[in-house]
Each structure stands twice: as C-alpha cells, then as structure tokens.
Amino acid sequence: MTASSYLHSVQASYDAVAVDYARLLGTELAGKPLDRAMLAAFAECVRGEEGGGTGRAVADLGCGPGRVTAHLNALGVRAFGVDLSPAMVAVARRTYPGLRFEVGSMAALDVADGVLGGALAWYSTLHTPPAELPAVFAEFARVLAPGGHALIAFEEGDGRIRLEHAYGHPVGLDVYRMPPDRVAALLAGAGLAEVARLHREPTSRENAPQGFLLARKG
C-alpha cells in the first residue's frame, strides 16, 4: 500500500465514523485512570522547564473529535488538534469551540521547526505502516523544541489487523500492533529518547495490551 492510498483510506474511514466515534468514546478517559496518569505526566513535563519552557503549545496529532485535546487543555497546557479527517475536525470544532483544530497530516505538519513543547499521538499512529513511522517520528522531532516531549499511545503486539467495520460503519483500516521496544527504538532513531513507558492490560472493550511511551527531545 502506498503512502497516499493508506492516507486516503484513513481519511475516508474516519470521515464516515466521526459522529458515532465521538458519541461512543466521548467519556472513555473517565474510566481509565492509568491512561489519565500518563497524560498528566506528559502535561507536567511539558509545563516544566524540561518541556522547552512554560507556555509552549502542544499538538494533539490525530486528535479525532478533540476529547484528548480538551483534556490536555484542562491540565493546563496550551493544546491544539490536528487531524487528517475534515469530519473529525468539524466535530471537534463544534464540541470545543474555544480550542483550535486544523485539518492536516502528522507526517507533514504546518508547524515551524522547534516551536512545540509537546507532541501527542494518542493511538493515532495505529494505521501508519511501520515503514512510514521513522518519517512520522522525525516530523515530531522537527517541530519539538529542545527538551520537548512526545507521548505515544499504541496497541502492543506484532502484526497487522484489518478492520472492515467499526463504530457502526463500513471502513477500510489496517491496525498495526507493535512491541514497545520497537516503538522506543524508532523514537530514539528520530532523536527522541525514552523517558518512561507503561504497559496496561486490555479492558473488556479492548483486544490487545496497551502501550504508552514518553520520550524527550535532547
């Protein structure tokens, strides 16, 4: 699958599910204390001097309907969202009119070099073929200030799962599960050194263990 074809499939699929995705997952974080703890640690790192200085913005890359962007904002960071799906961005703008959301690709961000305090990919690299991840993580590193942090949430495993139906709609999505050591190595290759990681067993609604990696740009 070429880069352009996988991006087209991801955009079309999330355009189709945007409204129901937002409805079904809108309050999901409330029942996941460990996920919230990783987001809180990320926010604290970004707010501190090690995050490149207080006040730097944080990009929620692959923000979907904006629920995690809003959560970060409530934690005291100046967060904005970017998503490939115009329908997702439209939902986010309606739901959180006080926050900024933009249509764009995490692989080619309309952001200057070295200006962000943080970059969040909350399960948003799941559909990126592993061969494309070095370029994606290099883009994260490009936009981060020295000392800035990246937090990646992903499904642990090794292999590809094909989704033809999700959130009540037909879709065409590949989900790539990866071992945490491999994600850490790819981040390190982009100049993002591991700070911490969390392994969480799946909930009743999940089909795989969940991984979280916090990394820092030197």
Query: What are residue 56's phi and psi, to 5 degrees?
Result: -70, 145
- What is the rounded CA–CA span in Å between residue 80 and residue 77? 9
CA 216: distance to chain centroid?
Answer: 16
CB 80 within 8 A of CB 101: yes
Calculate the alpha carbon distances from 188 to 10, 118, 216 in Å: 26, 16, 9
DSSP 126: T
What the block records as the tokens of 139 is 């883009």
pLDDT score at 1 = 44
What pairs with residue 79 in β-bridges? Answer: 58
Strand boundaries in the chain, DSSP class E: 57-61, 78-83, 101-103, 116-122, 144-155, 159-166, 169-177, 192-200, 210-217
- What is the rounded CA–CA span in Å between residue 178 and residue 160? 9
pLDDT score at 52 = 47
The residue with tokens 């703890």 is 37
pLDDT score at 4 = 62
Q: How many percent of the chain have pLDDT more than 90?
A: 86
Please provide the distance, in angstroms rounded to a whole number, between the alpha carbons at the two ends of the chain.
34
DSSP 119: E
- What is the rounded CA–CA span in Å between residue 146 and residue 207? 36
Instruction: Classify residue 194 by burial, with Cβ atoms within 10 Å: 0-12, 13-18, 19+.
Output: middle
pLDDT score at 49 = 53
pLDDT score at 54 = 54
The average confidence (pLDDT) of the chain is 93
| pLDDT < 50 regions, the chain | 1-2, 50-53
What are the tens digits of pLDDT across the range 38-76?
A: 999 999 999 885 444 457 999 999 999 999 999 999 999
Q: Closest by alpha carbon to 198, among 158, 162, 151? A: 151
What pairs with residue 213 in β-bridges? Answer: 152, 197
Q: What is the pTM of this model?
A: 0.94
CB 77 within 8 A of CB 116: no
pLDDT score at 92 = 98
